[in-house]
A and B are shown apart, each in its own frame.
Chain A
Amino acid sequence: MLAVEKLQENFPHDIIEIKECAGQVSVTVRRDRIVDILRFLHDDGELLFDHLADLTAVDWLGKKEPRFEVVYNLFSIRYKQFIRIKVQVPENDPRVDSVTCIWKTANWLERECYDMFGIEFEGHPDLRRILMPDDWEGYPLRKDYPLFLEEEQEWKEYKKLRQKARELAQYDWYPMLAEKDKEEAGSPESEAAA
Chain B
Amino acid sequence: MAPTLEIIKKQQDEKEWDEPYFVNMGPQHPSTHGVLRLFLELEGETIRSCDPRIGYLHRGIEKLSEFRTYSQAMVLTDRLDYISSAANNVGFCLAVEKLMGLEVPRRAQIIRVIVCEMARICSHLLWLATHALDIGAMTVFLYCFRDREWLLDVFEMICGARLTVSYPRIGGVRLDFTDEIVDELYKFTEEFPNRIPEYETLIDVNRIWLKRTKGVGVVSPEEAVNLGLTGPSLRGSGVHYDLRRSAPYLIYDELDFEVAVEYEGDTYARYRVRMKEMREANKIIRQCLDKLAETKGEPVVAEDAPDLLMPFGKVKKPQAAPHPKKGYVVKGVEVPVVPEGEVYMATEVPKGELGFYIVSDGTGHPWRLRIRAPSFVHISAIPALAKGHMVADLVAVIGTLDIVLGECDR
Residues of A within 8 A of B (CB): 21-24, 26, 50-54, 56, 58-59, 63, 71, 73, 75, 77, 80, 82, 84, 103-105, 107-109, 112, 116, 130-134, 140-141, 145, 147
The answer to whether the Cβ of B395 comes within 8 Å of any Cβ in the partner chain is no
Give B225 Cβ to nearest chain A Cβ, in Å: 5
- CB of B368 within 8 A of CB of A140, answer no
Q: CB distance B376 to A82 under 8 Å?
A: no
The distance in angstroms between the C-alpha atoms of A23 and B375, with both chains bound, is 27
Question: By the criterion CB–CB under 8 Å, are A21 and B1 in contact?
Answer: no
CA distance A26 to B101 in the complex (A): 18
Smallest Cβ-Cβ distance to B360: which chain A residue: A21
**Do A141 and B62 touch across chains, with their CB atoms under 8 A apart?**
yes
Q: In the complex, are the beta carbons of A21 and B241 less than 8 A apart?
A: no
Closest A residue by C-beta to B230: A51
The 7 closest A-B pairs by CB, nearest first: A105-B228, A108-B380, A131-B55, A21-B341, A54-B372, A22-B343, A56-B370
- Interface assignment of B262: CB less than 8 Å from any CB of chain A: no
Take A51-B225, A104-B384 as given contacts and tell me if A77 and B241 are in contact as well, using a CB distance cutoff of 8 Å.
yes
B214 within 8 A of A: no
CB distance from A157 to the nearest CB of B (A): 9
User: A175: shortest Cβ distance to chain B, in Å?
Assistant: 28
Q: How far is the CB of A140 from chain B (nearest CB, A)?
A: 6
CA distance A51 to B226 in the complex (A): 7
Question: Is B21 part of the binding interface, using a Cβ–Cβ cutoff of 8 Å?
Answer: no
How far, in whole Å, are A82 and B344 apart by their CA atoms in the complex? 10
Interface check B397, CB cutoff 8 A = no
Given the known inter-chain contacts A54-B357, A73-B357, A105-B228, please indicate yes or no for A21 contacting B342, CB distance below 8 A. Answer: yes
Beta-carbon contact of B357 and A131 below 8 Å: no
Per the bound structure, the CA–CA distance linking A184 and B361 in Å amounts to 43
Given contacts A24-B343, A108-B376, A140-B60, contact A53 B1 (CB under 8 A): no
* Residues B359 and A58 in contact, CB atoms below 8 Å apart: yes
B54 cross-chain contacts in A, Cβ below 8 A: 130-131
Residues of A within 8 A of B101 (CB): 22
Find chain B residues with CB under 8 A from A52 CB: 228
Are A107 and B343 in touch, CB under 8 angstroms? no
Q: Which of A26, A84, A131 has its CB near the most chain B CB atoms (within 10 A)?
A: A131
User: Nearest A residue to B60 by beta-carbon distance?
Assistant: A140
Extra pairs beyond A53-B372, A112-B376, A141-B62 (18, CB < 8 Å): A21-B341, A22-B98, A22-B342, A22-B343, A53-B344, A53-B346, A56-B370, A59-B368, A63-B361, A71-B357, A75-B247, A103-B228, A104-B226, A104-B227, A105-B227, A105-B377, A131-B410, A132-B55
Contact of B246 (CB < 8 Å), options: A71, A77, A107: A77
**Chain A residues, Cβ within 8 Å of B110:** none
- Known A-B contacts A73-B357, A141-B62; A22 and B99 likewise in contact (beta carbons under 8 Å): yes
Closest to A145 in B: B63
Minimum CB–CB distance from A15 to chain B (whole Å) comes to: 18
Partner of B344, one of A50, A84, A141, A145: A84
CB–CB B357/A132 < 8 A:
no
CA distance A171 to B2 in the complex (A): 28
Q: Which chain B residues lie closer than 8 Å to A130 at the CB level?
A: 54-55
Which of B228, B240, B359, B381: most chain A CB closer than 10 A?
B228
A163 CB, min distance to chain B CBs, angstroms: 18
How far does the alpha carbon of A51 sit from the alpha carbon of B1 in the complex, in Å?
33
Least Cβ–Cβ distance between B219 and chain A, in angstroms:
11
Q: Which residues of chain B come closer than 8 Å to A75, judged between CB atoms?
A: 246-247, 346
Q: Is there a chain A Cβ closer than 8 Å to B29's Cβ?
A: no
Min C-beta distance of A19 to chain B, whole Å: 9
B 315-342 binary contact with A (CB < 8 Å = 1; else 0): 0000000000000000000000000011
Q: Are A131 and B346 in contact (CB under 8 A)?
A: no
B302, chain A: closest CB distance, angstroms: 17
CA distance A26 to B55 in the complex (A): 31
* Residue numbers in A under 8 Å from B359 (CB-CB): 58
Task: Write out the residue numbers on chain A whose beta carbons fall within 8 Å of the beta carbon of B355.
Answer: 53-54, 73
Q: Does B87 contact A (CB under 8 A)?
A: no
The complex places the Cα of A145 from the Cα of B344 at a distance, in Å, of 25
Across-interface contacts of B380 in A (CB, < 8 A): 105, 107-108
Determine which of B240, B344, B367, B409 lies in contact with A24 in the assembled complex, contact meaning CB atoms within 8 Å.
B344
Write the nearest CB–CB distance from B177 to chain A, whole angstroms: 30
Query: Which residues of A sit under 8 angstroms from B227, Cβ to Cβ?
Result: 104-105
Residue in B62, B225, B246, B342 whose beta carbon sits within 8 Å of that of A80 in the complex: B246
